[in-house]
């Protein structure tokens, strides 16, 4: 299939796979399994060469991570997403994190457990609990979550709390400048509208140290985050990886510009 454009190649490959397995469906458990997999490929919006397993993104074969609290609640990352975030953080020797969207602080705490050394810090931004309105359009659940739980309740009074700075504000208005060029990793999981994710991404590019770091987005193929990525990646061929079996997207940043962190 040399010379065939990549999207067409994937369409042909997947359609053949899909049809073959459809014919075998009543007779073969494997075909039924494959069919659900190929269906996932056909419907997943960012399927392509950067839709990868977590292991594809990790360089350290002996990586060990510790995550707690593991059990997810509604609106948390899944257990495997939590593990993936911690693994990406540790594999990239991250020591300073900026998180947009604290919620109950479960991911904040798990990230704090995997920092490079005792000087490591997590800065986590959330809407103040009494917030009733925000500056850009977004779903009202994004605002409502600010009062649903105590922000950071799952890291408060834990050994990781001293490593964590809780910040308050609307990410579209917040003054990020004191943190610019000082951060190794940003985790974007605040408001989920296209406008918010766009501005959170622009701010994150400035936060990352000039020497390099990574941005991780949650819910990348859902809500306004999906709309943002569809447009952003159409305008620019940025090296964003989408992690299979998760809603995570990850991209390297160097000198304020996107770069392929697997190439370093
Ligand atoms: C889905 S929750 C985050 C979940 C958390 N990162 C985790 O892994 O468990 C989204 C959080 O972002 C906060 N948020 C929503 N809009 C925001 C905004 N404009 N600025 C800052 N935080 C925001 C919400 O209050 C909520 O706590």
Q: What is the pLDDT of residue 259?
A: 95
Residue 244 included in any domain: yes
Mutate to test the pocket of ligand 1, among 80, 82, 102 (most ligand atoms within 8 A of CB): 102
Residues 22 and 56 in one domain: no
82 within domain boundaries: yes
Q: What are phi and psi of 60, to 5 degrees?
A: -85, 115
Domain that holds residue 18: 6-43
What's the pLDDT at 1? 65
Give yes or no for a contact between 214 and 220, defined as CB atoms under 8 angstroms apart: no
* Residue 1 lies inside a defined structural domain of this protein: no
Ligand 1, closest atom to CA 171?
A: 20
> Do 77 and 142 have their domain in common?
yes
Q: Which atom of ligand 1 is nearest to the CA of 73?
A: 9
The closest of 153, 139, 57, 45 to 108, measured between CA atoms, is 153
168 pairs with which residues across the strands?
Answer: 126
**Residue 187: what pLDDT?**
98
Q: Has residue 35 got a pLDDT over 70? A: yes
199 CB near ligand 1 (under 6 Å): no
- 59 shares a domain with 120: yes
> Atom 11, ligand 1: which residue's CA is nearest?
101
Helix H segments across the chain? 6-24, 29-43, 54-57, 79-91, 106-112, 140-148, 194-207, 223-235
Same domain membership, residue 66 and residue 169: yes
In a domain, 258, yes or no: yes
* Domain match, 28 and 56 both: no
* Domain membership flag for residue 238: yes
- Does the CB atom of residue 106 touch ligand 1 within 6 A? yes
Q: What is the pLDDT of residues 69-91, one digit of tens each?
A: 999 999 999 999 999 999 999 99
The answer to the question of residue 96 being in a domain is yes
Asked whether the predicted pLDDT for residue 39 surpasses 80, the reply is no
Residue (of 131, 133, 132, 109) closest to 122 by Cα position: 109
Q: Is the pLDDT of residue 37 over 90?
A: no
Do 29 and 143 lie in a common domain?
A: no
Predicted local distance difference test score (pLDDT) of residue 135: 85
Indicate whether 141 and 223 sit together in one domain: yes
Give the pLDDT confidence of 151-177 residue by residue, as tens digits. Answer: 999 999 999 999 999 999 999 999 999
Atom of ligand 1 minimally distant from the CA of 131: 25
Whether 163 and 239 map to the same domain: the answer is yes
* 112 shares a domain with 38: no
Q: Do 117 and 236 fall within a single domain?
A: yes
Ligand 1 probe mutation, 74, 126, 150, 153, most atoms within 8 A of CB: 126
pLDDT surpasses 80 at 179: yes
Instruction: Kindly report the CATH number assigned to the domain that includes residue 89.
Output: 3.40.50.150
Question: Do residues 124 and 245 both lie within one domain?
Answer: yes
What is the pLDDT, as a whole number, of residue 264? Answer: 63
CB of 103 within 6 A of ligand 1: the answer is: yes
Round the average pLDDT of the chain to a whole number and report it: 93
First to last CA, the chain: 30
Where does the pLDDT of residue 147 fall: very low under 50, low under 70, confident under 90, or very high at 90 and above? Answer: confident
Tell me: the pLDDT tens digits for 105-114? 999 999 999 9
Which pLDDT score, from 0 to 100, does residue 155 have? 98
The ligand 1 atom nearest the CA atom of 196: 19
Query: Is the residue at 205 inside a domain?
Result: yes
Q: State how far the Cα of 23 lies from the Cα of 34, in Å rounded to an integer.
A: 12
Count of domains in the chain?
A: 2
Whether residue 116 sits in one domain with residue 23: no
Which tokens in the block code for residue 262? 């697997």
| 106 inside domain | yes
What pLDDT is stored for residue 141 in this prediction? 83
The model's confidence at residue 19, banded by pLDDT at 50, 70 and 90, is confident
């Amino acid at each position: 299939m040399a010379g065939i454009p990549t999207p067409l190649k994937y369409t042909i490959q997947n359609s053949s796979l899909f049809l073959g397995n459809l014919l075998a469906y009543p007779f073969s458990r494997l075909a039924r399994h494959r069919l659900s997999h190929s269906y996932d490929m056909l419907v997943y919006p960012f399927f392509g060469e950067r839709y990868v397993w977590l292991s594809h993104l990790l360089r350290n074969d002996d990586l060990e991570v510790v995550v707690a609290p593991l059990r997810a609640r509604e609106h948390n990352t899944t257990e495997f997403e939590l593990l993936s975030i911690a693994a990406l953080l540790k594999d990239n020797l991250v020591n300073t994190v900026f998180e947009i969207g604290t919620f109950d602080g479960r991911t904040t705490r798990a990230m704090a457990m995997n920092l490079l050394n005792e000087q490591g810090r997590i800065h986590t931004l959330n809407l103040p609990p009494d917030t009733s309105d925000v500056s850009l359009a977004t779903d009202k659940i994004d605002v409502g979550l600010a009062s649903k739980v105590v922000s950071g309740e799952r890291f408060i009074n834990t050994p990781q709390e001293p490593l964590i700075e809780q910040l308050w504000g609307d990410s579209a208005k917040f003054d990020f400048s004191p943190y610019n060029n000082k951060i190794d990793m940003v985790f974007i999981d605040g408001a989920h509208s296209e406008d918010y994710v766009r501005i959170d991404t622009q701010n994150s590019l400035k936060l990352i140290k000039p020497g390099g770091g990574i941005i991780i987005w949650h819910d990348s193929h859902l809500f306004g985050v999906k709309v943002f990525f569809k447009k952003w990646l159409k305008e620019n061929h940025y090296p964003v990886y989408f992690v299979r079996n998760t809603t995570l997207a990850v991209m390297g940043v160097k000198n304020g510009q996107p770069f392929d962190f697997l190439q370093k």
